[in-house]
Chain A
Amino acid sequence: MPYIPHTKTEIKSMLDAIGVESIDDLFDEIPASLRAGDLTEVPVGESEMAVSRLMHERAAQDGQSLCFLGAGAYEHHIPAAVWELTTRGEFYTAYTPYQAEASQGTLQLLYEYQSMMTGLTGMDVSNASLYDGASAMAEAVLMAVRANRKSKSKRVLVPGTVNPAYRKTAHAIVHHQGITLEQLDYDQQTGVLDINKLPTEPGDFAALIIPLPNFLGRLEDLDALTDWAHQHKALVIAVVNPVALGLIKPPSEWGEKGADITCGEGQPLGIPMSSGGPYYGFMACTQALVRQMPGRIIGRTVDLDGKTGYTLTLQAREQHIRRSRATSNICTNQGLMITASTIHMAILGEQGLGKVASQCHANTRSLVKQLTALEGVSLLFEGSYFHEVILRFEVPVKDILKSMTAQNILAGLDLSEAYPELGNCLLVCATEMRSEQDIERYAKKLENILLRNESVKCPIKPKW
């Protein structure tokens, strides 16, 4: 049986209806130079040995760079068991199955995931995940505007220290619904919001976003910001790095009442960096807001015989039932990614995650110590950080990064585009993966590059 969904007659009638001649006409917006053209022949088959060799060669082109780059995606150790188990046939699916209750194993796994996320964030309920951290933040904004019954405002306050990519994504998703993200400026001396300089009359706003850690690596005054937002009848959206919660108190304990919604990027929990995705977003909230939370939620119940069973719950506001008035029409969950994350968290446990977080912090301290010992490198902000910091240079970092990359070291993120006001700054990160030798290698290479630049600036005069 051919798997061709449409007959020639059907295709012709559809093309006639929209007034074009052929299917190719539908693609005429794509310049001819970008088109792949027809596949005229398939090359002759190669042996398995030749193919593996080719693939290894291709993979090697990516290089085995030593990574000191963070800025949203982090290289952590992933125990071998995580993906060995995740890719077993029983788990190997990207979505919550449509006939969900027939797949009790998948639902139980999602339930365990939710339980772990509530444990980690301290919130009452978690959904079964979203696309990624940035879209999770956008969903949290939409949710806060829907849920805040004390405010009809469509303004949400966003510190300038929230990941710029998240701000862009959130803007793209929410602005067509009339929601404005209003930036709160950070203090350029400290890299955090100054609690004494917050607007005294901020007007009506639905929510305040608080990042942990912020994009500049710093820790905001979580308690004071949370209380400030609540005093103004706004909700608090925490955007957190889940590994940081191994060391820092969960959003449920921020301020007097705790954050209302917690979201973030789940990649650090067992997902390889893999050139930017697939990742997953997590979202958790207080019991009071559960009916406004988008996405799948799995509940545990008992069947007619009293045996434990798992089921999709609180579906009444989802898109297959509520159509355009659903809590979200753009969300799904990342089943495979959170399968890996759940196994990852189960293997690490609370203590393991705490150790990972501590080791990240210790390694970053060591990195800071070694790099700031070099002439021309200093720490931009004093004060607490988790596993990312900003280093200030006397020369633009673009060329330094280029030279470091040539030495197979991803030395950090040049902040001159996103934060030009900070000057020549580099955002660097050392996770638990970076050994003392790795850090020494970074310092040594950087020292050489800086010295070389120095020598260009003060050329030695020839003796003759």
Chain B
Amino acid sequence: MSEIPSDLKYTSSHEWVRIESDGSVTVGISDHAQDLLGDLVYVEAPEQGTEVQAKEACAVVESVKAASDIYSPIDGEVLEGNETLADTPEIINNDPYGEGWIMRIQPAEEADMSSLMDAEAYEALVASETH
């Protein structure tokens, strides 16, 4: 069973979202997602200043099996992409909720967080997809 921290929010496309104290959000992919993808070989994190919309593809993670889009969980502006992933993409496999974060986003004022899932709902989603 993959790890699903209870203090994070999740999307149905397997991103996790942490709402930081300064109002920004940090985004990565779940332990379940990294497990499905297998060994990551390349990550294309978004550039700082990129405007993103909820459910819009804004980053790419590539494993030996497939290149997959990462979708922004909310509307906003990219504050920072995780530069260290360019040389060491495997940190997503090793630490998906910590060092393996992908981007930080400043949510737009009207950004809607209510559609994000809590850990329990996400766990149910993962369970339904694996059966």
Contacts and interface: CB of A to CB of B under 8 A. Distances in A.
Interface string B54-81: 0001000011111101000000000000
Contact of A321 (B57, B67, B69): B67
Contacts of B69: 325
Interface string A355-369: 000000000000000
Greatest chain A CB density within 10 A among B41, B65, B67 is at B67
Nearest to B41: A316
Interface in A282-303: 291
Contact of B64 (A150, A291, A316, A317): A316
A321 B66 CA distance: 7
Interface in B39-59: 41-42, 44, 47, 57
Greatest chain B CB density within 10 A among A149, A316, A321, A322 is at A316
A291 B62 CA distance: 10
A385 B98 CA distance: 59
A316 B47 contact: no
Interface string A308-338: 0000000011000110010000000000000
Nearest to A321: B66
B90 to A, nearest CB: 15
A325 B44 CA distance: 15
Contact of B47 (A149, A317, A325): A149
A317 B68 CA distance: 9
Contacts of B44: 291
B53 to A, nearest CB: 14
Contacts of B42: 291
Nearest to A290: B42
A266 to B, nearest CB: 28
Nearest to A150: B47
A316 B62 CA distance: 7
B103 to A, nearest CB: 14
A325 B62 CA distance: 13
A11 to B, nearest CB: 38
A150 B50 CA distance: 10
Interface size range of chain A in the complex: under 10
A259 B13 CA distance: 38
A150 B42 CA distance: 19
Contacts of A321: 65-67
A322 B47 contact: no
Interface string A139-163: 0000000000110000000000000
A125 to B, nearest CB: 14
Contacts of A322: 66-67
A149 B66 CA distance: 21
Nearest to B67: A316
Nearest to A149: B47
Nearest to A327: B67
A325 B64 CA distance: 17
Interface in A392-413: none
A150 to B, nearest CB: 8
Interface in A259-293: 291
Contacts of B41: 316
Contacts of A291: 42, 44, 62, 67
A284 B57 CA distance: 27
Contacts of A316: 41, 62-67
Contacts of B64: 316
A316 B44 CA distance: 14
Nearest to B57: A325
Contacts of B66: 316, 321-322
Nearest to A152: B50
Interface of B: 41-42, 44, 47, 57, 62-67, 69
19 contacts: A149-B47, A150-B47, A291-B42, A291-B44, A291-B62, A291-B67, A316-B41, A316-B62, A316-B63, A316-B65, A316-B66, A317-B62, A317-B67, A321-B65, A321-B66, A322-B66, A322-B67, A325-B57, A325-B69
Given A291-B67, A322-B67, A325-B69, 18 more contacts: A149-B47, A150-B47, A291-B42, A291-B44, A291-B62, A316-B41, A316-B62, A316-B63, A316-B64, A316-B65, A316-B66, A317-B62, A317-B67, A321-B65, A321-B66, A321-B67, A322-B66, A325-B57
